[in-house]
């Protein structure tokens, strides 16, 4: 479990977010949350095998294909899909693996922590950022 101090430290220490499951659909949280983070100064790297570009950024089919250093991995995939994403993230540059609201996989989180990563489960990055920094979230 992470508290507000840990979340604030995570948000302050990152600049680039690889978003696994980033959506092309503006109505989905997997689009709205990365857009909000982008609007608040973070660079978004969309990871979606069905897209070439999302939010004005080149999309990549997997974390393994991302040539740009990133500080954190933000996961917008069902909980059952998390383990292989964490497997890809562990050797990568991210120090944080963040599972969005409603997404939990304790085995994957333990594996990430054992590899020295910070694992956050079932937290919305947009809601936490908005609450902790007093910013308006996207409707």
Q: Which residues contact 57 (CB under 8 A, 6 or more apart)?
A: 43, 44, 45, 46
Q: Which residues contact 131 (CB under 8 A, 6 or more apart)?
A: none
Tell me the H-state helices in the chain: 4-12, 29-39, 82-89, 106-114, 125-133
31-52 pLDDT tens trace: 999 999 999 999 999 999 999 9
In degrees to the nearest 10, what's the CA dihedral of 16, 20, 24, 26?
A: -70
Give the mean pLDDT of the chain.
Answer: 96
51-103 pLDDT tens trace: 999 999 999 999 999 999 999 999 999 999 999 999 999 999 999 999 999 99
What is the DSSP-derived secondary structure letter of residue 67? -
Look at residue 20 in the predicted model and tell me its pLDDT.
98
> Binning pLDDT at 50, 70 and 90, where does residue 1 land?
low
User: Taking 90 as the threshold, does the pLDDT of residue 134 lie above it?
Assistant: no
3-state DSSP assignment of residue 78: coil
Look at residue 92 in the predicted model and tell me its pLDDT.
96
Looking up tokens 């540059």 gives 93
Looking up tokens 């250093």 gives 69
Look at residue 2 in the predicted model and tell me its pLDDT.
83
CB 84 within 8 A of CB 110: no
Structure tokens at 115: 């590899």
117-130 pLDDT tens trace: 999 999 999 999 99
């Amino acid at each position: 479990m992470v508290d507000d101090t840990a979340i604030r430290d995570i948000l302050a220490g990152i600049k680039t977010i690889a978003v696994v499951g980033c959506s092309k659909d503006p109505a989905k949280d997997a689009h709205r949350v990365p857009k909000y983070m982008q609007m608040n100064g973070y660079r978004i790297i969309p990871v979606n095998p069905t897209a070439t570009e999302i939010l004005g950024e080149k999309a990549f089919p997997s974390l393994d294909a991302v040539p740009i250093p990133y500080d954190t991995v933000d996961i917008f995939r069902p909980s059952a899909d998390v383990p292989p994403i964490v497997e890809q993230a562990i050797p990568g540059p991210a120090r944080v693996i963040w599972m969005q609201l409603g997404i939990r996989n304790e085995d994957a989180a333990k594996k990430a922590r054992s590899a020295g990563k910070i694992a956050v489960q079932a937290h919305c990055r947009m809601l936490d950022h908005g609450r902790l920094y007093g910013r308006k979230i996207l409707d």
